């Protein structure tokens, strides 16, 4: 028998292993029970799911692939190599968590950006949908589209860990069966749900490469992953400045004239601004104190960013983005080893 929340095979003997339930009549494993009632992940499965087995399982399923992508994580989602494995399949794209992005960002602009990236990678995306569980957005449009397929069609929901697949399916199918949480690795195996003659398959999230989501501690995840609409924090620059986001990231800016930096991050993530010449000392003294959350890794990787006359976004996977406006002599970033950073034309 499988856990109806995460799909893993239930077992009743080893309390410290996956799938354990103290009660043989239980529908949920102990981990799902504690996640659903106490928001307690019990143990981390961010790195415990073999992506090769997940890919193989998806490839063995006949049906329409529904790629679930977090609106907040478009760049890193489209950079994942596993997408190339499905170049011959029919794929629908659902952009979740629309409520996280500021309302001023036009959906048409997001679609245009996503489609451009999709075409450059030659991915066979048939249709793009927006969805938000909190706003109850996109449910009717998506389900009506899916129900145009012949009865008996399988819909395989796939994507990165923490993209919101289980939350989407719960709302789409008007149930609360699947376990959903902010912790990557909540869904551990394949779960099949049937409704109106169709089969909906929830799959484990693929490991997110080069993202802060995979690096910060479980206890800090809620301080990093936004759960409500991002509010801009704007800083004007007239002289060289350094900005820290906790001890997770540092950016040195040397403007040639008046410029600005606008930050879009979780409101619990503190942004520290200091004079450029004081930045090294501040990091040395305050890492883990005023500068938190922090990682076990130092900010050892340096990157320089080139900017033209147009506004540019610097995207930090799993954290948010910074919009730079104006002219700069130098833009230097400091990152933990293994974290990627992306730049794009400003979306606001």
pLDDT digits (tens, 9 = 90+) for 83-110: 888 877 889 999 999 999 999 999 999 9
Res. 48: pLDDT tops 80:
no
Q: Three-class SS string for the chain?
A: CECCCCCCECECCCCCCCCECCCCCCCCCHHHHHHHHHCCCCCCCCCCCCHHHHHHHHHCCCCEEEEEEEHHHHHHHHCCHHHHHHCCCCEEEEEECHHHCCCCCCHHHHHHHHHHHHHHCCCCEEEEEECECCCCECHHHHHHHHCCCCCCCEEEEEEECCCCHHHHHHHHCCCCCCCCCCCCCCCCCCEEEEECCEEEEECCCECCCCCHHHCCCHHHHHHHCCCCCCCCEEEEECCCEEEEECCCEEEEEEECCCEEEEEECCCCCCEEEEEHHHHHHHHHHHECCCECCCCCCCCCEEEECCCCCCCEEEEECCCEEEEEECCEEEEEEEECCCCCCEEEECCC
**Sorting pLDDT into bands at 50, 70 and 90, what band is 247?**
very high
Query: Which CATH number does 46-209 carry?
Result: 3.40.50.300
pLDDT of residue 198: 98
Across the chain, mean pLDDT equals: 94
Tens digit of pLDDT for each residue in 209-244?
889 998 999 889 988 999 899 999 999 999 999 999
Average pLDDT of 256-260? 94
pLDDT of residue 207: 86
pLDDT of residue 87: 78
**Sorting pLDDT into bands at 50, 70 and 90, what band is 31?**
very high
Give domain limits for the chain: 46-209, 229-345
pLDDT of residue 93: 96
**Sorting pLDDT into bands at 50, 70 and 90, what band is 167?**
very high
pLDDT of residue 116: 87
């Amino acid at each position: 028998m499988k856990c109806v929340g995460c799909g893993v095979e239930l077992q009743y003997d080893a309390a410290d292993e996956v799938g354990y339930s103290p009660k043989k009549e239980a529908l949920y494993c102990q981990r799902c029970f504690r996640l659903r009632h106490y928001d307690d992940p019990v143990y981390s499965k961010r790195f415990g799911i073999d992506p090769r087995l997940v890919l193989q399982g998806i490839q063995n399923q006949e049906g329409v692939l529904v790629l679930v992508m977090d609106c907040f994580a478009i760049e890193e989602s489209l950079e994942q190599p596993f997408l190339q494995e499905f170049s011959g399949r029919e794929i629908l794209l659902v952009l979740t968590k629309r409520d996280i992005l500021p309302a001023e960002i036009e959906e048409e602009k997001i679609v245009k950006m996503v489609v451009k990236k999709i075409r450059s990678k030659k991915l066979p995306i048939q249709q793009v949908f927006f969805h938000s569980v909190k706003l109850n957005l996109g449910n009717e449009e998506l389900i009506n589209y899916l129900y145009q397929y012949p009865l008996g069609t399988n819909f395989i929901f796939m994507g990165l860990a923490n993209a919101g697949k289980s939350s989407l399916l719960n709302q789409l199918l008007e149930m609360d069966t699947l376990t959903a949480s902010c912790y990557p690795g909540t869904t551990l195996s394949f779960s099949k749900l049937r409704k109106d003659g169709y089969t909906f398959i929830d799959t484990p999230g693929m490991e997110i490469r080069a993202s802060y989501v995979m690096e910060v501690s479980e206890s800090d995840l809620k301080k990093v992953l936004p759960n409500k609409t991002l509010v801009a924090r704007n800083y004007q620059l007239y002289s060289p400045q350094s900005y820290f986001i906790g001890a997770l990231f540092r950016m040195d800016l040397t403007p040639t004239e008046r410029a600005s930096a606008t930050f879009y991050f979780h409101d619990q993530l503190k942004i520290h601004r200091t004079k450029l010449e004081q930045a090294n000392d501040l990091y040395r003294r305050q890492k883990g104190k005023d500068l938190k959350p922090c990682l076990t890794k130092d900010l050892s990787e340096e990157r320089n960013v080139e900017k033209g006359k147009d506004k540019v976004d610097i995207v930090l996977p799993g954290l948010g983005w910074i919009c730079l406006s104006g002219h700069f002599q130098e833009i230097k970033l400091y990152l933990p080893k293994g974290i990627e950073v992306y730049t794009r034309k400003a979306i606001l």
